[in-house]
Amino acid sequence: MSSLDHAAVHQPHRDDYGSRMGMWLFLFTELILFGGLFIIYAVYRFVHQQEFHLAAQELNTTIGLINTIALLTSSMTAAMSITAMQKGNVRFSKALIWVTIGFAFVFMVNKYFEWGSKISHGIYPGSKDLLAKPEGEILYFGLYYVMTGLHTLHVIIGVIFFLFILRQIKQGKIASDRYVRLENSALYWHLVDLIWIFLFPLFYLIH
């Protein structure tokens, strides 16, 4: 291989920079969205400190901790998949992506049972049992369902991204010299993980 060919292989594609910039801008808008919700949470928590304290005791800290470990580990496997792809180890990269998706399903299954438990006890927006509670607890659970629900939606979108990436790898559109889409998907996944790192202590460790 000539020096020109070698340089062509390792030179980034023209749209790589635009793709990365687009992803960073998108992540910035997501941070603004959740940042606004965190500010609303902080205001209501300041006004209703005791009610938030009591409401937090309704949540299962163990489930929250398991989900935190699952997402932290999945971020690691997502990052490792990029390294594997850069080294040309496509099979290992795909395996790591599947592991990441597996941890995402662990998170979603835990969230399903957690929400199911709360709903079975009548704790959900608009329920008679919840409306009978003090205003602070109503606000707490309203924010809990909105913020964790929105986060779970982002987890689902992240899984869809990774499934798309797996298809792209199979088609040969992602390789050791063309991995920006995988990199962008991992960046998105890191954002999902980062948001949960804030949600976990705010809702599960407040008491």
In a domain, 22, yes or no: yes
The neighbouring-strand residues paired with 178 are 175
Evaluate whether residue 2 is within a structural domain.
no
Spans in the chain with pLDDT lower than 70: 1-15, 207
pLDDT digits (tens, 9 = 90+) for 26-71: 889 999 999 999 999 999 999 999 999 999 999 999 999 999 999 9
DSSP 178: B
Number of domains in the chain: 1
Residue in the block written with tokens 């690691």 = 76
Q: Is 1 within a domain?
A: no
User: Is there a domain that residue 5 lies in?
Assistant: no
CATH code of the domain covering residue 59: 1.20.120.80
Dist CA 11 CA 157 (whole Å)? 30
Residue 123 lies in a domain: yes
Q: Tell me whether residue 7 is in a domain.
A: no
- Within a domain: 155: yes
Examine residue 8 and state whether it is found in any structural domain, yes or no: no
Output the pLDDT for position 71: 97
In angstroms, rounded to a whole number, what is the distance separating the alpha carbons of residues 186 and 79? Answer: 7
Where in the sequence is the domain holding 62, given as residue range(s)?
13-204
pLDDT confidence of residue 42: 95
**Distance, CA of 58 to CA of 53 (rounded, Å):** 10
Provide the total of helices (H) and of strands (E) in the chain, helices listed first. 8, 0
